[in-house]
Amino acid sequence: MYDLPYSRHTLRPLVRAIRNSLLPGNARSGLVDGRLVRKFSSTRLLPLAAMMAGLSFSALAENSSSISLEDGVELPEVNVRADELVPQEGYQATTTRVGKIQENPHDVPQAVTTLTRTLMDEQKAGSLREALRNVSGLTFNAAEGGRAGDNMMLRGFYTYGDIYLDGMRDTAQYNREIFNLEQIDVLRGAGAMLFGRGQAGGVINQVSKVPYLADRNSIGASVGSDDYRQLNGDFNKRLGDAMALRVNLMTRDEGSWRSNPANGDEPEIHRDGVAGSFGYGLGTGNEFILSHVRTETDDIPDYGFPFDATTREPTDNFEPDTYWGTDLNFDESETNVSTATYTHRFSSDTAWRTQLRKGDYERSYWARTPNANQAPNAEGIVVGGNGVNTNAGPTRMMDYETLALQSDFNSAFKAWGMPHQYVVGVEYLNEDSFRSALENLGGTTVGDPPLFRPYVGTTTGVPVEFDADSYAIFGQDTVEFIPRWKATLGARRDYMDAEYSSDTSPRLKYGEWSTRAALSFHPTDETNYYLSRSDSFSPTADLYQLTVEPLPPERSDVLELGAKWLLQDGDLALRAAIYRAEKEWERNNDLEATAAILTKKRRTDGLELEAAGRITDKWQVFAGLALMNAKILEVAENVNANTGVITSANPEYKGKRARNTPPYTANIWTTYKLSDGWKVGGGAEAKGERYGYNPSGAGAIPTLPGDTEFHPNTAPSYVRWDALVSYERPTWEVMLNIQNLLDDVWYDSLYDNGAFTIPGTGRRFILSGEYKF
């Protein structure tokens, strides 16, 4: 019998090995007596077994290949019940369903970025927008007046149609909160074969919190500068052998460093949310989860800051903290999403999963547009030469309802000695949308300015209505055709039948194929080298209800070569990828504009690097770098809806950098645990210059006065620094975050047509406390 020396140097690798061995990615799932269990091989648990048998770790290391215990003790297979597994911590994710099956992101033959709950909590991210700052190659479009709500660019392409909630389409125009999310998966590249119609940039999938079989609760409170306040709670209660209930609550208020100099009014954020989920049969072969999430917003929107027509940069006529709105402006919304999920596990490698969802999204807003030459008055208006108000601002009310059904079956088998893993499925989606401007209850002069109220629709304008049914069938197979070499092939067929209230495009019917293929090589379990190709399409029938017939739908094609490595005994994940993404017949998505082709063909060539996980037991990092070369290859061709005449945009746009696509983005967040519960950390987010313009017109390209060189409105490059210090005990934690540590002026997002940009937050201190019980 050996003595076990409990030194720091021997216990550190021992603890790491035990922790890694218990990760879901290192286990097989199976049914034992009708209950889902994780099966861990005895070799994964050798360090733990050695401790229990009294072996020294050094002796174990020397004899791990042929170890035998005294008295003939054998190490059995160990079963860990699923009800003992609780949400993981750290920056590195080990499971995802972004590929339609539960797997380790390391094994997906496509670039995947996952934002974990730990990362989002440490940064005090409250909204989806804030969380996505950790995704390299992603930029933000300004919302109000165009594509309202969350609106991002990924790899230089729109993603507003590629946002999902637990694998189901979530494309309504609203501002998403993350209080009920466990993680956010970003599948880069075209994802139409897996998810349906979409863009070339990628898919953003929000993963909801679900109940688990343990009692764990937490409540938190935060206060900060600019009137920041937040309360949140996460309560999970085990109700029986296979039942649990989980409830998440959130309320948040935020002010701003920007204000109207005439009256002191400023943009504000007021968000509330409640989410509940009930699980029955958890950890068994028949699992049922019923959930509902409701969020409300009551914001005062910020339309942004104007560009100077002579410099094409944010104007110097006013300070960046100037705000053109008033507290009469509003952005109100109510979102209700109910989901039922049933999973039947036939065996450890065969499952049938079905989801049914009903969504209702109501929203109404009124914003004020800024002006580069005139300061706002107390009413926030800009006055014309005859005293007539010329700044009523964009208004809208909308009601978007969805009914979705999704069912997929996955299994594994062997044929001719080759392992296969396949998934097949069907989907149905009904969308019913109503959109209208608001009724002006005031006037149009300085003495009688415009006035709009939430959900009071116009009585003179014609609302836009849209009703569509979508159907899809898909299948994908991954085969290990020779040891450590895998090939993936998938195909999907989508059908859509849509009716509009528009006279020019009253109906649209289509059927489109999408495909996905990949070849991957795993020389070891810790490495994955792959080459993948994926495509996607978008008929532009959904979302913004604009079509451009008889031109073909958008088509995208993405080729990607990548590598993934697991280092530090699997604690640190590295990723690298180079890609080429091309899109044809790209549409405009601005509701304030008419249907138009932005570009006939454009391309992004890019390089991405990413790291996530632990460098040491005390040091964690999450970092990404994206280099992008985005160019217009062919200019737009547009069709006159009345005459059918096709006109081309100015050919001088050919070869120009695409809008809102900087040449680089970078991000890093890192923390280090000190002794006695202290932790320090921080990070940075950097983006290069971003252009704002509309390339679909036949007019002159944007230039500086007296010059002929291409020079559109440009949001300048920036680096934003954040910092963190926290003190944690087993049942409580106190944290101080400093956002925009250097108090720099930086510009966060661009309006679709490039007319305005929105300044990012000023320096903000947030003090938080959390109690766990």
SS3 124: coil
Phi-psi domain of 690 (left: phi exceeds 0; alpha: psi -120 through 50; beta: other): beta
Residue 644: which pLDDT band, with cuts at 50, 70 and 90?
low
Q: Is the peptide bond before 550 cis (omega within 30 degrees of 0)?
A: yes
Cα–Cα distance for residue pair 408/425, rounded to 1 Å: 4
Alpha carbon separation from 47 to 9, 44, 69, 409, 525 (Å, rounded): 14, 8, 13, 37, 20
The angle subtended at Cα 75 by Cα 70 and Cα 78, nearest 5°, is 155
Encoding tokens for residue 546? 């604009």
pLDDT-based confidence at 55, cuts 50/70/90? Answer: very low
Distance from C-alpha of 135 to C-alpha of 453, rounded to nearest angstrom: 37
CA pair distance 595, 583, nearest whole angstrom? 18
Under the banding of pLDDT at 50, 70 and 90, the label for residue 388 is low
DSSP assignment string, 597-657 = EEEEEEEEEEEEEEEEEESSSSEEEEEEEEEEEEEEEEE-EEE-TTT--EEE--GGGTTPB
Query: 123-149, pLDDT tens digit by residue?
Result: 999 999 999 999 999 999 986 544 567
Model-wide pTM > 0.75 = yes
Q: What is the DSSP string of 134-189?
A: GSTTEEEE--TTSS-S--EEETTEE-TT-EEETTEE---SS--B-TTEEEEEEEES
DSSP secondary structure string, 408-420? EEEEEEEETTEEE
The tokens of 534 are what?
């994926």
Model confidence at 642, pLDDT cuts 50, 70, 90, reads low
User: What's the token pair of residue 653?
Assistant: 């746009």
Burial classification of residue 217, based on how many CB atoms lie within 10 Å of its CB (0-12 exposed, 13-18 middle, 19 or more buried): middle
Task: State both tokens at 30.
Answer: 């199976």
Indicate whether 84 pLDDT > 60.
Answer: no
Rounded CA gap, 703 and 699, in Å?
12
Task: Over range 47-71, report the average pLDDT.
Answer: 39
Residue 71 confidence (pLDDT) above 50: no
Q: How far is CA 360 from CA 63, 151, 357, 404, 500, in A?
A: 61, 19, 10, 12, 19
Percent of the chain topping pLDDT 70: 82
Query: pLDDT at residue 587 above 70?
Result: yes
Q: For residue 461, what pLDDT band results from cuts at 50, 70 and 90?
A: confident
Residue 88 near residue 26 (C-beta atoms within 8 A): no
Give me 468's structure tokens: 């569509």
Q: How confident is the model at residue 41 (pLDDT cuts 50, 70, 90)?
A: very low
pLDDT of 403 higher than 90: yes
With vertex at residue 692, the alpha carbon angle to CA 691 and CA 693, rounded to the nearest 5 degrees, is 120
Kindly indicate the confidence band of residue 498, based on its pLDDT and cuts at 50, 70 and 90: confident
Please say if the pLDDT value at position 585 is more than 90: no
Distance CA 98, CA 110 (A): 10
CA gap 458, 203 in Å, rounded: 36
**586 vs 323: which has the higher pLDDT:** 323
What is residue 604's predicted lDDT score, i.e. its pLDDT? 96
Say what angle helices 46-53 and 8-21 make with each other, to 10 degrees: 130
Beta bridge partners of 322: 259
More confident residue, 65 or 146: 146
- The token pair at 703 is 């230039």
- For the residues 710-733, what does the mean pLDDT come to? 96
Least confident piece of the model among 139-153, 559-573, 680-694: 139-153
Which has more confidence, 659 or 764?
Answer: 764
pLDDT over 70 at 384, yes or no: no
Pairing of strands 202-208, 163-165: parallel
* pLDDT value of residue 766: 98
State which of 8-12, 244-248, 258-262, 498-502 shows the largest mean pLDDT: 244-248
Specify the pLDDT at position 58.
36
- The pLDDT assigned to 51 comes to 39
Which carries the bigger pLDDT value, residue 446 or residue 75?
446
* Mean pLDDT across 233-251: 97
| Mean pLDDT on 655-664 | 94
Give the closest residue to 57 by CA, choosing from 6, 101, 111: 6
**Beta strand extents in 688-746 (DSSP E only):** 690-692, 713-715, 718-729, 732-739
Asked if 367 and 299 count as a contact pair (C-beta separation under 8 A), the reply is no
**Band (528; pLDDT cuts 50, 70, 90):** very high
Mean pLDDT of the chain: 85
Residue 198 has pLDDT above 90, yes or no: no
User: Is the pLDDT score of 626 beyond 80?
Assistant: yes
Residue 721 vs residue 371, higher pLDDT = 721
CA distance 509 to 497: 5
Percent of the chain with pLDDT over 90: 64
Q: What is the DSSP string of 174-237?
A: S--B-TTEEEEEEEES--HHHHSS--SSEEEEEEE----SS-EEEEEEEEETTTEEEEEEEEEE
* Predicted local confidence at residue 374, as pLDDT: 86
Give the number of other Cβ atoms within 10 Å of residue 156's Cβ. Answer: 29
What distance lies between CA 106 and its chain's CA centroid? 19
Could you read off the pLDDT of 323-356 as tens digits, one per residue? 998 899 999 999 999 999 999 999 999 999 999 9
If one compares 261 and 41, the residue with the highest pLDDT of the two is 261
The DSSP H or E segment spanning 52 is helix 46-53
Sheet holding 152-154: strands in order across? 157-158, 152-154, 138-141, 747-750, 756-759, 305-306
The answer for residues whose C-beta is within 8 angstroms of residue 183's C-beta and 6 or more apart is 93, 96, 114, 115, 116, 117, 207
CB 107 within 8 A of CB 184: no
Q: Which residues have a Cβ under 8 Å from the Cβ of 343 and sit 6 or more positions away?
A: 286, 287, 288, 351, 352, 353, 354
Residue 506 has pLDDT above 90, yes or no: no
Closest among 308, 304, 309 to 324, alpha carbons compared: 304
Q: Are strands 216-224 and 269-280 parallel, antiparallel or unpaired?
A: unpaired
Residue 114 scores a pLDDT above 90: yes
Residue given tokens 């087993």 in the structure block: 730
549 band by pLDDT with thresholds 50, 70 and 90: low
Q: Coil, helix or strand for 10?
A: helix
In the chain, DSSP finds a helix count (H) and a strand count (E) of 6, 40
Secondary structure letter of residue 388 according to DSSP: B
Q: Check residues 312 and 76 and name the one with the higher pLDDT.
A: 312
> What pLDDT does 590 receive?
54
Range name among 60-69, 124-133, 512-521, 654-663 with the lowest pLDDT average: 60-69
pLDDT at 423 over 60: yes
